[in-house]
Copies of this chain bind each other. A is one copy, B any other.
Amino acid sequence: MKAPILTPLAASLPSTVPFVGPETQERAIGRPFEARLGANESLFGPSPRAIAAMAAAAADVWMYGDPELQALKAALAAHHGCRPENIVVGEGIDGLLGYLVRLLIGPGDSVVTSLGAYPTFNFHVTGFGGVLHRLPYLGDHEDPQALIAAAHQHRPKLLYISNPDNPMGSHHPAETILAMRDALPEGTLMILDEAYIDLAPKGTAPVIAPDDPRVIRFRTFSKGYGMAGLRVGYGIAAPELAQAFDKLRNHFGVGRIAQAGALAALADQEWLGQVQARVAKGRDRLAEIAQANGAVALPSATNFVTMDLGRDGDFARATLRALTDRGVFVRMPGVAPLDRCLRVSVGDDAALDVFAERLPQALAAASAALQATGG
């Protein structure tokens, strides 16, 4: 009666993974957060029309969703001026990244990304045995030149860039992304993660022919559309690649309520416009709060503001802990030198009021704690 024997690859993977949700932290501190500003969720919520569509779909959820997602793919194709064959829909960008890595990456295959960029992508690459080459940020931006140079050195099958970037909130203009694409070595597919593009300045999203085999771009309903808990993301790619996902995806994985909610949200661009305006105001407010506390808000093209606290990672981590203890959920970049910062999602007035009140307390507590330990 032995335990089942995992594959060597699965056995090599860590059994603890860094996906601590705020609920886990709430259980640890014994009460709910008063300000939930850590996961770049949209406190402005989804479109009321999307909420109504999801509520209506709840009664119909005895039916499987359409495994070919025909209505949603048609709407997305119309929205983007491409064909449904260019679209793949999945269980969030997270799910799609997993499928894409599985399609392309086997043990030992190279992948290029930035040191400190989206950890869930790394989780998938490692999970399929890929070898990560991680290039440092430059001036709090992912570094296009370094990424391209690494691509020519390592000839990776995948090169990942998010634009706008998470966790720094920075962005490159469309021309920079197009120049990267044009400089890719043969055989490298560029993943352009545009999760935050709905919150970015005009001119950030490049015009890329949907059939271009060099790029797959990912979008989501989790950020601007305010439906992180629904789990709907999509990719735009050449039909050959988009359809290759059918080889291995969970065909019924995007369910009936998810499809209905995404379809209604996409149709309500006016709501998205309102969210964009409120996010812009929220960013300004967060920048004021940062300034009032001697921190520097980095320019943000996203629904969060990354704040340089002006000291090191230990200080930022102590500040984050002090905020947690005070009922404020935020996150921070995981690696130096990015980890001198806190990453604070834009919230509604109530949540930002709480943050404004607790941040000075937390900074003072962090300073005191580090002094006490000689830090």
**Nearest Cβ on chain B to A56's Cβ, whole angstroms:** 8
Please tell me how many copies of the chain the complex holds: 2
| Of A78-86, A199-207, A252-260, A285-293, the one touching chain B | A252-260
Chain B residues with Cβ below 8 Å from A229 are 57, 60-65, 255-257
| B61 lies within 8 A of A228 (CB) | yes
Q: Tell which of B3, B213, B226, B230 touches A240, judged by Cβ atoms closer than 8 Å.
A: B3
How many A residues, CB 8 Å from partner?
89
Cα(A51)–Cα(B228), bound, Å: 20
Cα(A9)–Cα(B109), bound, Å: 14
Chain B residues with Cβ below 8 Å from A17 are 246-247, 251
| B248 lies within 8 A of A213 (CB) | no
A8, A62, A228, most chain B CB atoms within 10 A: A62
Q: Which of A18-51 contact B (CB under 8 A)?
A: 19-21, 23-24, 27, 36, 39, 41-46, 50-51
- Residue A187 CB within 8 A of the other chain: yes
Q: 1/0 contact trace for A216-237 toward B, CB 8 Å?
A: 0000001000111111000000
The prevalent SS among residues of A at the interface is loop
Given A213-B3, A213-B4, A257-B54, A67–B21 Cβ distance below 8 Å? Answer: yes
**Nearest Cβ on chain B to A123's Cβ, whole angstroms:** 8
Cα(A29)–Cα(B127), bound, Å: 43
Cα(A212)–Cα(B63), bound, Å: 34
| B246 lies within 8 A of A231 (CB) | no
Chain B residues with Cβ below 8 Å from A109 are 7
Chain B residues with Cβ below 8 Å from A187 are 2, 4-5
Cα(A41)–Cα(B61), bound, Å: 9
A16, A229, A256, most chain B CB atoms within 10 A: A229
- Residue A325 CB within 8 A of the other chain: no
Q: Given A44-B62, A55-B58, list of 4 further CB < 8 A pairs?
A: A1-B212, A2-B187, A20-B67, A54-B257
The 14 listed contacts between A and B (C-beta, < 8 Å) are A5-B104, A6-B104, A7-B109, A23-B70, A43-B62, A54-B58, A55-B55, A61-B227, A61-B230, A65-B229, A94-B253, A98-B250, A229-B255, A253-B253
